[in-house]
Structure 1
């Protein structure tokens, strides 16, 4: 059993290394042969084969006769998988991907906020308030800011009580991490961010589903506008 655990750990480490190489475009379009990769990672062919099969199952790779193991476009990756979500958000975000991130958030979070207002019990709502209090005392450049932001939004999704929404929590966290680089630490802007989050949280506490949904939608619109402004300032265009 100890040997199996050690092998699983090695497989995970190799997967992580392969993904890093993929998102950093180290390998190009096709991975090197398995024996070359085994030497690169200093693992057995069995471990390498298992790691590659795990990435194949996540639609990240494609084996083609006479071509080898081709790296599939990121849009084909199985995003419902939490590991894949984490890996995809590790890559440099492109304008199309950021657009999809905002559209996904707009689809899930406002409805989750409304359902949290309707269905959230006292413990759910207390957990949301606790996460919000931690979030609002942190600035975007504080080390724990991203984790606090992700926790707040995750707790809202969980409080919705919708198991499909809850399964999407990993993507919500990833979407927030992709947006972090576009957050401006300007005092006035940050005060507005807190104000809009406060509106969502207070609507949920009042069990006002209509207001919670509208406030969440408004918050995401604000984030999208801010991302657009920052992209333009950095010379990134659609």
Structure 2
């Protein structure tokens, strides 16, 4: 585990902090689709991503989901940090977007390291800043972009995260994550296909000119 930590966080943390993370952290491999956190759960540890990606979702009163942002290699989750520090229940759902490896750090270490290591404090603040900007981007997308523009942006992000031109989400799954309906998403996907931007297949979507 120490080598993975050095490869992904060595440019951020000093060796003494990396060694402490190695001593107290729990190494986990999550398969694609694994739900690592549910809304209402108490947060006992925070994740440091070694590889893969995790999607962070919110849920409205009707049970519909909205994709907020993705966590990738070298990231942690600001909402998890907030819940850890406040010892409150999670307000987000976290699901592995693809096979993911991470290190879970006990919450009691967070305050200790904030006092002991300047690099840890900087990492936490920068993580808050990055996730806040991503939330702003999501809000801007909802407020200012048409659904077809949001869908196009969603497909581009999915392709970037998975490092492939193939998106395996169903029309219904895309509708959930964009807080829309399957009928609307299917219509807009067909429009993108007619424009030559994608190819629709039974179990996947092939991105061509986006």
Same fold (TM over 0.5): no
Structure exhibiting the larger radius of gyration computed from Cα positions: 1
More strand by share: 2
TM-score of the two chains, using structure 2 as the length reference: 0.26
TM-score of the two chains, using structure 1 as the length reference: 0.24
